[in-house]
Amino acid sequence: MLMAIGELFNKGWVEWVSAMTYQAASGSGANNMRELISGMGVLHDAVQDELANPASAILDIDKKIAQTQRSADFPTQYFGVPLAGSLIPYIDVQLENKQSKEEWKGGVETNKILGNDEASTIPIDGMCVRVGAMRCHAQGLTIKLKKISL
């Protein structure tokens, strides 16, 4: 975020930021990446016969995928819930203020890097989502700028 909008912070133009991040399995480590791949394999194995038959109904395939994801045998040891074929709308643990730790870190770390003390803290909030991809992250920003007379 700072590389993209750092100059807006430096000029004092930012009133607040809302950041939405979409983070791949790689952001949570090798075991989680393996779990994602394992889950993909389980999903494929569950429907491979239907996939091989062009006449099979996609809604039937979708239903079988959902049933497989809900199965007690589906790999969820590291993520805690299925990521393959899905997403997890939460990263890390929930804090007392109801933010996830990952969401909290975004604001705290940005203000620390900027050298902001408690009086000059810029509100930075958002949402962090784990996506069923191996190695890609994305971020969307909504920025409220201050009204400035030039």
Q: Please give the distance of CA 136 from its chain centroid, rounded to a whole number.
A: 10
Strands 124-131 and 14-23, by their bridges, are: parallel
Percent pLDDT > 90 in the chain is 94
Asked if pLDDT for residue 147 goes beyond 90, the answer is no
Summarize pLDDT for 83-132 with one digit per residue, the tens: 999 999 999 999 999 999 999 999 999 999 999 999 999 999 999 999 99
Q: What is the pTM of this model?
A: 0.87
Summarize pLDDT for 4-21 with one digit per residue, the tens: 999 999 999 999 999 999
Asked if pLDDT for residue 51 goes beyond 80, the answer is yes
Asked if 103 contacts 125 with a C-beta cutoff of 8 angstroms, the reply is yes
CA distance 64 to 43: 9
Name the β-bridge partners of 19. Answer: 126, 141
CA distance 124 to 22: 16
The residue extents of the domains of the chain are 16-42+77-145
At residue 87, the pLDDT reads 97
Fill in the amino acid letter for 61.
I
CATH number of 16-42+77-145: 3.30.360.10
Mean pLDDT over all residues of the chain?
96
